[in-house]
Amino acid sequence: MNDYYADLGVSRDAPAEEIKRAYRRQARKLHPDVNPGPEAEAEFKKISQAYEVLSDPNKRQQYDMGSDPFGGGQTGFGGNFSFTDIMDAFFGAGAGAQAGPRSRVQHGQDALVPLQIDLSTAVFGGAEELVFDTAVLCETCHGDGARPGTGRRTCDICHGSGQVQQVQRSFLGQVMTTRACGACNGYGEIIESPCVDCAGEGRRRDRRTLKIKVPAGVDTGTRIQLTGEGEVGPGGGPNGDLYVEVRVRKHQTFQRRGDDLHCSVELPMTAAALGANLPLETLDGVRDVEIKAGTQAGDVVTLKGLGVTHLRSSQRGDLLVHANVRTPSNLTDEQRDLLRQLATARGEERPEGNFQRADKGLFGKLRDAFK
**What is the arrangement of strands in the sheet containing 255-257, beginning at the earlier edge strand?**
255-257, 260-268, 319-326, 300-303
d(CA 203, CA 134): 10
Compute the distance between CA of residue 78 and CA of residue 176 in angstroms, rounded to an integer: 13
CB atoms closer than 10 angstroms to residue 107 = 14
The span from the CA of 146 to the CA of 153, in Å, is: 11
Is residue 2 within 8 A of residue 63, CB to CB? The reply is no
DSSP 342: H
What DSSP letter does each residue of 114-171 carry, written as one string?
Answer: EEEE-HHHHHH-EEEEEEEEEEEE-TTTTT--BPTT--EEE-TTTTTSSEEEEEEEET
Instruction: Of 156, 140, 241, give the one whose Cα is nearest residue 200.
Output: 140
Residues in Cβ contact with 194 at an 8 Å cutoff, skipping those fewer than 6 apart: 145, 146, 147, 200
Q: Is 181 annotated as a binding residue?
A: yes
Instruction: Give the span between the Cα atoms of 313 and 256, in whole angstroms.
Output: 18
| Pairwise CA distance, residues 271 & 220, whole Å | 37
CB 218 within 8 A of CB 90: no
| Residue 155 in marked binding region | yes
What is the H or E stretch that residue 260 is in? strand 260-268
For 317, residues 6+ apart whose C-beta sits below 8 A from its C-beta are: 258, 259, 260, 261, 307, 308, 310
DSSP 76: T
Measured torsion, CA atoms of residues 77, 80, 85, 90, in degrees rounded to the nearest 10: 20
263 is in an annotated binding site: no
| Residue 90 φ then ψ, to 5° | -100, -30
**Which positions make up the binding site?**
138, 141, 155, 158, 181, 184, 195, 198
**Which positions make up the binding site for Zn(2+)?**
138, 141, 155, 158, 181, 184, 195, 198
